[in-house]
Amino acid sequence: MTKPTSLVVFAYNFVHRKTQDFILRLFLEGYKPSLIIAADPVKLKIPPSTIKSKIRHQAIVHPSEVAKTLDIEYVVLPHNSSDCAALLKSVNPEVGIIAGARILKEPAIEPFTKGIINFHPGLIPEARGLDALLWSIYNDVPLGITAHIIDKYIDAGKILAKKEIPIYSNDTLFDLSERLYEIQLDLLKPSIEALLTGNIDSLVSLNTPYNRKMPPELEAEVLKKVSGFIERHCKKN
């Protein structure tokens, strides 16, 4: 297994399931991060969804405690700050992993010699943007994960891996959401290997629209479409 000379994880500096699980899974797969850059919470101007599709999880460990236990350097900085850009230039990172971050700007992206991998909970370019699960159901697009190298555009860059999730006849919206999350963890190792070996697909077309936050009236339509979507896309046993 080829390993990066320097692997940096962008994370959240608060209790966050994806941040915790990505760090642990990387470690278990043999990719110990050399540095975790954790950002404090930022209040977003996005209204909450009227649809509940995720479980409220408990027993999550703060990422700083995970880093301490695994002996990984942990720094708290805003990801798009000049201090973060300076730190990245000083460590000359090869590979980056987004385990929790807002949109990264070019000063945070440019220091990486191979690139930064994002795991989008939707197929790109068909489901670019926010609320990928909901928009996929609304537009009848198969559900899946896209691992891609980020660039200055949102949910674009070069594709490393795409994988549709299996769907079963007795699934609920919670099942679909959870499976989308689990597939992201499964794609960590193959995506890093693809990046390091140069097994990279073409650039994402920017001609496909970027989805904004789904409005409440369309969320109500999604609830009506869920059962039909599952019936059309479910795995035939």
Sorted by where each begins, the domain ranges of the chain are 7-233
Looking at domain 7-233, does it have CATH number 3.40.50.10680?
no
What pLDDT is recorded for position 206? 65
What pLDDT is recorded for position 23? 98
Residue with the bigger pLDDT between 202 and 62: it is: 62
Question: CA separation (Å) from 60 to 8, 52, 65, 131, 207?
Answer: 21, 20, 11, 24, 39
Question: Could you say which DSSP state residue 122 is in?
Answer: S
What pLDDT is recorded for position 236? 57
Q: Residue 214 — pLDDT band, cuts 50, 70, 90?
A: very high
What pLDDT is recorded for position 237? 41
Distance CA 25, CA 21 (A): 6
Distance CA 112, CA 118 (A): 14
Question: CA separation (Å) from 205 to 78, 140, 164, 191?
Answer: 30, 20, 19, 20
Q: Residue 224 — pLDDT band, cuts 50, 70, 90?
A: very high
Across 163-177, average pLDDT: 95
Question: CA separation (Å) from 182 to 166, 189, 205, 235?
Answer: 12, 13, 26, 18
Provide the whole-model pTM.
Answer: 0.94
- pLDDT over 80 (residue 83): yes
114-123, 153-162, 186-195, 211-220: segment of lowest average pLDDT: 153-162
